[in-house]
Amino acid sequence: MKADETLMYDLLTQIYRDKKVTDATFNATQAKFGDKGLSDIVAIAFASVFGAVALAVAIAVGVGGRHVAARLLETAAASFRTRKDDHDATGG
Per-residue pLDDT of 55-69, as tens digits, reads 988 887 777 777 887
> Which parts of the chain fold into alpha helices (H)?
3-13, 23-64, 66-90
d(CA 31, CA 28): 5
pLDDT of residue 70: 81
What sign for the dihedral angle of Cα 80, 85, 87, 92?
positive
For residue 41, the tally of other CB atoms under 10 A from its CB is 17
For residue 72, the tally of other CB atoms under 10 A from its CB is 11
Q: How confident is the model at residue 91 (pLDDT cuts 50, 70, 90)?
A: low
The single-letter code of the amino acid at 66 is R
